[in-house]
Structure 1
Amino acid sequence: MTKTMWESIAKSKQAALISAIPPEWIIPAHLLPPEDQTDVTTFPRQSGWFTARELEVLATAAPRILAHLQTGSWTSEEVTRVFCKAAAAAHQLTNCLSEILFDEAITRAKHLDEHLQRTGKPKHPFHGLPISLKDNFNIIGHDSTVGFSSLANDPATYNSTLVDLLLSAGAVLYVKTNVPTAMMISETVNNVYGRTVNPRNRKLTPGGSSGGESALISFGASRIGVGTDIGGSLRIPAACTGIFTLRPSSGRFPNSQTRSGLAGQEAVASVNGPMASTLEEITLYSKTVIDQQPWLLDPKCLPIPWRPAPPKHRLKIGVLWHDSLVTPTPPVARALQHTVHKLRQAGHSVTDWAPTGHPEALNILLRKFLADGGESVRNLLKPTGEPFRPEMEFYENAAELGVHEMWQIHIERNTLQCEYLDRFNEAGIDAILCPTTPYSSVEHGKFAHIGYTGVFNLLDYSAVSFPCGVTASKHDTYQSSEPLSDLDAQIRDDYNPAVVDGMPVSLQLVGRRLEEENVLMMTEVVMGALSSISARL
């Protein structure tokens, strides 16, 4: 059967990715994990394919890497080669990349090393540090397909503002990572590159839309990556793979000149933020980017310098046990209960937080996403005859809204934002603790609810998703007998405790709008209270 245009493009792009990997970084056939091996995060340590020195570099957190690079005890070329090799392995085992920049990354690293050797000084705060980027960040000479075949083989002619900022700060950009179609699916799958799998368990999703980043980082092939979030696209993949992320409020980090699957949709702001294996690396990135004064580069960035937040040793936290639509699956419910217990033991005040306004917020969010009747997506699929993916059924069948109707939705949003902030202030709480998603992770094709993240996009609140030290168990079962909704009943039916056994569980700490420094500080305080939680409760 003759391949259609989009299928030919997809085959070509996938082949180009593999061909961009140097032969010495193609995993030897005899070392490849068998198809039925679910956890491939062990591959770097157990395969014998990585040297002890390479493993040392991969295991070193970004602040220590930077200390080595800035003193010249490590070279950027060596560090960059190690992360390129690890990224090549990660892609072969999880399908996490969309663009490979190995050659230019190594060339840049050499120039940075030469600069240090010549001047005795590092070139700005990220000197020589490899940083990975989600596919939608434009880099001159490389595609930003955001999962559409019609956008393939059309390399960017300009950089995203954040790309210019990172380069001027001395970073080395070495890969771009896979996303779902239009970045509007909560799993990472598209018709061009296919599906990205979770390196902790390849039967499970790494989430979306920043799932290529979460897979790369949790595999150990990036210390700091950058993703985006419009309905949970940072926090969902971070939670599915057990890493950290910060969802900042709109205006803290530069987001201009990036590609969108819903270009012109500004009713809900897309934001970008860091993803990493440690909270320390999240804070390092956030402070460094803001210290570069991004408001001088991006007209939508707010001129708010970094404001160090002193530790607050007694927090008042409101706990959202469920959002009135979907109960957390048993591992997440158990993790939330144990976290509350640990917080109270540590002397923090914990009170219940009602899900007032949460169903309405999710409804408003989804109506905004679908307001163009799916035309943005349809127009990007049409040139190559690419079909709607089944996960985008809502977009395929959506009806376009008129301007007046859209303005009424804005009024609903504004009212809800005021009411929610009033309730937050009246309760006197510092933060909300809640699930990031109902899942620890979930099998491919079964992620079905973004309510726990999406509400805070509508409110534009700062939030951190963090692994709380609890892992899922095959013995976890539902305690509540009555589902909250038909969707809740479906998620309960889909729940498979055996397949998520051993997966890390993440929770979400949410502060008010533009409280990035505070929510990072509070997350550190919470992590301190959790430090006595065993690896498996």
Structure 2
Amino acid sequence: MGSLHRACAWKRDDRQRKIDALPVTYKEPLTPAEEKIHALPLATLVTQCRSGLLNPADVMQAYAKKMLVAQKESNCITDIMVNHALESPSLAHCGPGADSDTRAEDSRPLLGVPVSVKDSFDIEGHDTTIGLARFSNRPAQTSAPIVRLLRDAGALIHVKTTVPTALFSMETESDLFGRTTNPYKATHGVGASTGGGGALVAWGGSMVEVGSDVAGSVRIPAHTCGIWSMKGSVGRFPVLGNMSPMTGLEAVPILTGPLANSLDNLEEFYKRVIDMEPWTYDHTCVPLQWRPLDLLEEGRKLKWGVIWSDDTIPPTPACKRALSTVVGALKADGHEVVDFSPPIEEVLGVGYQIVFADGGRQIRNVLLPGETLNAALVSVLKHVSRSRFGRTIRRLWSFITGNSEVEYPDILKEKNIVEERQLIVQRDELRQQWHDKWQNEGLDFVLTVTFPFPALENGDGEKASLMSASYTFLFNLLDYSAGVLPVTNVRKDLDSLPVDFQSTSMYQSLSAPARQAWSTYDAEKMDGLPLSVQVVGRRFEEEKVFAGMRVIEAALKKKNVLFIGKKDAV
């Protein structure tokens, strides 16, 4: 047995041992009392834990039962630390039997809140694998600042969640843990790279997932799993101790962001983390206090700019319908909605060159012999590793055939340090162009689809390609705040392509990469899957984006737009 197989076998056996060691009661159905606990919003749950009405151990049992169901159905867990969460000395005085004076002193803002953590964050005594067999059985020596903050706040960190091999992917799958499947349809995926967390939250196995995002990794899984997420600007949440296969990528830095089972819980969690003053845990955090904003109460009519397409892979009918539904609801509510056409292709071109400026060396160097990468990433790495002669032949062939993919290898060739610095200058110039255009048009928010497709069928990530993440990656490059909220579900009667689609002008207008990506779309198979929109504000406007998401939810409610979440579908 080779080192890859030994590492994978050990890690899966270790996970199963920890599951088997959980109390037998965790493997029973939820009791009526536990159902009530599970239905509590975050703020109420914390209040009841503080007052002694609830014991965190009872909360943990209610969520752990759902966690085990999620693991069985979706394969979304990498490590279990339920016992560690409950053994904290700080929880000893919690619950109905605790002394009332002691309880009154407990002001921890996340007391008793079940929080899962992506398997990219260090937790002392536990592996941080980022889906790579190399890091199996190599426990972290210290915990990441965000983990220490959450524990100090009273959160119950009970599991780590699955990620794809080396994080960069359209699907959550690795040799180490296998494939994570969609809570709505096991035949489909969860996106990436916080895919396990998206599935777990949708199943109800965690109230909040703490994930990371460099190109959409907390937003795409929120889209595919029908939950809510927020990508803030760099510096709002602690990021140290968050492993990446591309360390030192400061031009497009990885950041920390949460996913949650409701907008209320997402915003409440975000606020309470900020109230913990994360800058005292992590020097990279900006000392920016929470700034409450209620646009609904203000009643001000807002101006929304809509980006209908990234001009690379247009949104498929279901995703476009979700965006159109939001636009219609906002207009009906008296808001101004306009088309917005800033430079997009130019930003993405610079961004992809920055991310793969090393020619893919860092990712290749952490793989064990024989370890499998997701096909979408393999395709990119093949391009970036081509010789100059090979790229020249490919350009010539692409020119002859009219295949626009010629731009792909040119953009992704390895860069020297001077070329990389020039790219950062270009990025900053483009950021200023966006700033000026946003300012001149007087926008409050920008709206886009989150992803051009509903959740992809398992194995379709290569066809969709990493370019499908452009709608989210764009706002990492700009460092804008961006939230995702579910809107509706795929309906085969509304969202199917015409039988003669390939003979239509729409199909003819698609580029070769877009045609390949659109070949994954099948409204019949995708019927019922979640659909979302992305709400974008400028840098450090997280509070405003939350407020904008509330405006959208209120407008949709007035139009009786129905989203069927996982908890409503079972």
TM-score (norm 2): 0.86
- Alignment of structure 1 residues 365-514 onto 2, 5 Å: 365-382=351-368, 385-393=370-378, 394-395=380-381, 397-399=383-385, 400-447=414-461, 448=464, 449-478=468-497, 480-514=506-540
Deviates more, 1:147-156 or 1:326-335: 326-335
Cα displacement (A) at 1:386: 2.6
Maintained 8 Å contact 2:173/2:374: no
Deviates more, 1:234-243 or 1:328-337: 328-337
Distance 1:25 1:185 in 2: 35
SS in 1 for 2:471: helix
Q: Match for 1:49 among 4, 8, 29? A: 29
Distance 2:433 2:539 in 1: 14
Aligned letter for 1:434? T
Q: Would the alpha carbon gap of residues 294 and 24 (structure 1) be closer, same or farther in structure 2, given more than 3 Å must change?
A: closer
Alignment correspondent of 2:347: 361
Maintained 8 Å contact 2:113/2:207: no
SS in 1 for 2:19: coil
Maintained 8 Å contact 1:469/1:530: no
Deviates more, 1:54-63 or 1:176-185: 54-63
Q: Would the alpha carbon gap of residues 54 and 22 (structure 1) be closer, same or farther in structure 2, given more than 3 Å must change?
A: farther
In the alignment of these two chains, the number of paired residues is 514
Q: Match for 1:317 among 279, 304, 324? A: 304
Cα displacement (A) at 1:474: 4.8
Aligned letter for 1:10? C
Aligned letter for 2:470? G
Alignment correspondent of 1:90: 70
Distance 2:563 2:115 in 1: 31
Distance 1:258 1:24 in 2: 28
Alignment correspondent of 1:112: 91
Aligned letter for 1:505? L
- Alignment of structure 1 residues 162-177 onto 2, 5 Å: 162-177=146-161
SS in 2 for 1:450: helix
- Alignment of structure 1 residues 82-481 onto 2, 5 Å: 82-108=62-88, 111-114=90-93, 117-118=98-99, 119-121=102-104, 122=106, 124-311=108-295, 312-313=298-299, 314-354=301-341, 356-382=342-368, 385-393=370-378, 394-395=380-381, 397-399=383-385, 400-447=414-461, 448=464, 449-478=468-497, 480-481=506-507
Structure 1: which 5+ runs fail to align? Answer: 29-43
Structure 2: which 5+ runs fail to align? Answer: 386-413, 499-505, 565-570
1:297-333 C-alpha deviation (Å, 9 max, x unpaired): 2111111111111315311001111111111111111
Aligned letter for 2:426? E
Aligned letter for 1:500? M
Maintained 8 Å contact 2:184/2:225: yes
Distance 2:507 2:376 in 1: 29
- Alignment of structure 1 residues 510-529 onto 2, 5 Å: 510-529=536-555
TM-score (norm 1): 0.91
Distance 1:328 1:474 in 2: 18
Maintained 8 Å contact 1:339/1:530: yes
Q: Would the alpha carbon gap of residues 353 and 524 (structure 1) be closer, same or farther in structure 2, given more than 3 Å must change?
A: same
SS in 1 for 2:561: coil
Q: Would the alpha carbon gap of residues 396 and 379 (structure 1) be closer, same or farther in structure 2, given more than 3 Å must change?
A: farther
Please give the root-mean-square deviation of Cα atoms over the aligned residues, in Å: 2.1
Q: Would the alpha carbon gap of residues 144 and 74 (structure 1) be closer, same or farther in structure 2, given more than 3 Å must change?
A: same
Cα displacement (A) at 1:481: 4.4
Maintained 8 Å contact 2:486/2:530: yes
Cα displacement (A) at 1:106: 2.5
Distance 2:119 2:147 in 1: 12
Distance 1:488 1:380 in 2: 31
Distance 1:441 1:278 in 2: 20
Distance 2:42 2:509 in 1: 44
Distance 2:372 2:324 in 1: 43
Deviates more, 1:219-228 or 1:15-24: 15-24
Maintained 8 Å contact 1:483/1:489: no
Maintained 8 Å contact 1:467/1:504: yes
Distance 1:249 1:285 in 2: 16
Cα displacement (A) at 1:506: 0.3
Q: Percent identity?
A: 33
SS in 1 for 2:366: helix
SS in 1 for 2:130: coil
SS in 1 for 2:523: coil
